[in-house]
Amino acid sequence: MQQAVCAPKARVPDPSPDESLPFTVERATPAIGAYVGGIDLRDPLDEPAYLALRRLLIRYKVLFFRDQDITPAQHVALAQRFGELEVHPVFAHHPDHPELALFDKSGEKRGHENIFHSDVSWREVPSMGSILRCVECPRVGGDTIWVNMALAYDKLPEDVKTRIATFQAVHDLLPLFGKVLSPEQRASVRAQNPAVTHPVVRTHPESGEKILFVNEAFTTHFANYADTTAYRFGFDLKLAEMDLLQYLFRQAAAPEYQVRLKWQPNTIAFWDNRAAQHYAVQDYYPAVRRMMRATIIGDRPV
């Protein structure tokens, strides 16, 4: 079951032009992402460092940190600095820290995260962000791609923006995760995690940006398409709905909106789930790829 809902964070002040950051920042691509250096994430973040990282997260959507040999307890403490953490209802958990989801792939267990998605968009209160640490990975392969969905929305044709402005979409975890659960587990997970409805275009609570908030992993259909669309026959209605939804899904696949990270052990990625989607490239089987992720509870999309 979802943890208690956190109140949205107060809007973080914009940085002044002459702000002096306590670490280095190198932009990854024109669209999204930045590498942050000169910081040791084993140490608790003081207020200036916390505020600076939060501003950078909002600006760049995903932050990358190399050579961060943190313990699971330090991983949890870092994530908790940004908000309350969730416990995932399907993924394996760290034995001492249930807030840490474990991704342990090898020749015995192939990965299946190779689909564009926003973590836990199927929750009534989706996540604010995720912090993923690489424990072990192949020398080649196993990259992750992130997408700036604020930019994807901004570049949509104006007639599409007008059309989807009032649309709501249904998000559900079972179509993707149900295949790994027994019938009894499916019933239990469904009872605690019913399908939910979110705006197709959400507003970022801190930046005010408009974001395209549908993803092909968890968004199943529009909740109010028939209420807003004239049609002759039922098959026209359903096919047109699926065509539009697939068109919106495809925006995440544009390389112009993306950044791709080559993992190394002790690399950390911290991304804004409200504004970014990601895709774990499954090109490394049967090599070993082990990761840990903490997910920070966010706010209801509006």
188-198 residues labelled b (16+ CB within 10 A) or e (exposed): ebeeebebbeb
Active-site annotation holds for 278: yes
Q: DSSP class of residue 275?
A: T
- Give the distance, in angstroms, between the CA of residue 298 and the centroid of all CA atoms in the same chain: 11
Q: Of residues 54, 75, 88, 117, which has the active-site annotation?
A: 117
| C-alpha to C-alpha distance for 23 and 118, rounded to whole angstroms | 28
| C-alpha to C-alpha distance for 194 and 124, rounded to whole angstroms | 9
Q: Of residues 55, 171, 274, 278, which has the active-site annotation?
A: 278
Q: Of residues 119, 172, 272, 299, which has the active-site annotation?
A: 119
Q: Of residues 55, 198, 202, 293, which has the active-site annotation?
A: 293
Which is it for the CA torsion 297, 26, 64, 200, positive or negative? positive
Active-site annotation holds for 293: yes
Q: Which residues contact 257 (CB under 8 A, 6 or more apart)?
A: 31, 32, 147, 148, 149, 151, 152, 155, 251
Q: Which residues are catalytic?
A: 117, 119, 278, 293
